[in-house]
Amino acid sequence: MAKDRAHTRYVCQECGAVSPRWMGRCPSCERFNTMVEERIQDRTSNQSAAANTAGRPPLAVKEVSGERVERLRTGIDEVDRVLGGGIVPGGFMLLGGDPGIGKSTLLLQLAGSVGASEPVIYITAEESLEQIRIRAERLGAMPKNLFVMAEDRIEVIEETLADARFKLAIVDSLQTVYNPEMESAPGSVSQVREVASRLMRVAKAHLPIFLVGHVNKEGSLRPVA
Ligand SMILES: Nc1ncnc2c1ncn2[C@@H]1O[C@H](COP(=O)(O)OP(=O)(O)O)[C@@H](O)[C@H]1O
Ligand SMILES: [Mg+2]
Ligand SMILES: [Zn+2]
């Protein structure tokens, strides 16, 4: 059906090139059989990346409210400094780095610190809840307000984070969370784009998010696959 067609595109799993129709060979990187179908979702206004400002006409910059935004302090001084004094509402922060460098450890420590005063949720798509608990014990990061969840489906994560009770979320990681309705594997170009854009919308609409991202040998956040 023509209507369905308009909602499908093909994405090269090697280089990320996009084409409206399937091709055996990617026109960009020239590799074979790398194009995978991806459904394009309708963008309604409440899904917009700028959900809280959608539909407003352009403003002169000096007319934009100059009230200082309230920042959520992480309680880890070095992190607060990097963030310019703390986490801003709608903040979407990607923590990249090689495997084993300490991303999960740092963010669990941070979650423990924030959780001493505000409700925080740490969502892992990489480890078991038992592993997280053992690490939390070792770090002394076990406040009552730190919640943990082992989940890798993006829609379940979205639903959980739309609940207004959390002030901060950690999602570990970009390459292991996925949309099961898409054909491509977790960590592929299509999935990484999908997950990043959906979590960004959640961040703008609901609560700041720290997202863990694996970095490849070239130092870019390209897919693991
Ligand atoms: N009980 C422990 N004591 C000290 N260091 C540990 C312990 N368990 C794991 N580590 C180390 O902590 C480091 C950080 O791991 P992790 O936070 O899982 O990294 P990442 O999430 O970036 O892959 C690893 O090098 C790991 O070997
Ligand atoms: Mg980790
Ligand atoms: Zn390609």
CATH of residue 137's domain is 3.40.50.300
Q: Does one domain contain both 143 and 183? A: yes
Q: Ligand 1 pocket: which residues have CB below 6 Å? A: 97, 99-105, 138
Q: State the ligand closest to the CA atom of 16.
A: 3
What's the average model confidence in pLDDT over 8-36?
A: 90
Q: Does one domain contain both 191 and 83? A: yes
DSSP string over 33-94: S-EEEEEPPP--GGGSTTGGGTTPPP--GGGS--PPPPPBP-S-HHHHHHTTSSBPTT-EEE
Whether residue 203 lies inside any domain: the answer is yes
Q: State the ligand closest to the CA atom of 135.
A: 1
- Residue 178 DSSP label: B
Q: What's the CA-to-centroid distance between 132 and ligand 2, angstroms? A: 10
Whether residue 44 lies inside any domain: the answer is no
| Most confidently modeled range among 16-20, 60-64, 114-118 | 114-118
> Do 39 and 7 touch, CB atoms closer than 8 A?
yes
**d(Cα 114, Cα 150) in Å, to the nearest integer?**
20
Strands 18-19 vs 8-12: parallel, antiparallel or unpaired: antiparallel
Q: Does one domain contain both 31 and 82? A: no
Query: Mutate which of 95, 101, 105, 133 to test ligand 1's pocket (most atoms within 8 Å of Cβ)?
Result: 105
The per-residue pLDDT for 94 is 94
Whether residue 100 lies inside any domain: the answer is yes
What ligand 1 atom has the least distance to the C-alpha of 98? 22
Give the model confidence (pLDDT) of 105-141 as tens digits.
Answer: 999 999 999 999 999 999 999 999 999 999 999 999 9
Q: Does one domain contain both 83 and 150? A: yes
The per-residue pLDDT for 15 is 87
> Do 185 and 192 touch, CB atoms closer than 8 A?
no
What's the total number of domains in the chain? 2
pTM of this structure = 0.81
Q: Does one domain contain both 25 and 106? A: no
The per-residue pLDDT for 142 is 96
Q: Does one domain contain both 210 and 115? A: yes
Q: What is the side-by-side order of every strand in the sheet holding 8-12?
A: 18-19, 8-12, 35-39
Q: Does one domain contain both 120 and 20? A: no
Domain that holds residue 28: 2-39
Q: Does one domain contain both 33 and 87? A: no
Q: What's the CA-to-centroid distance between 167 and ligand 1, angstroms? A: 26
Supply angle C-alpha 213, 216, 221, rounded to 5: 40
Q: Does one domain contain both 106 and 194? A: yes
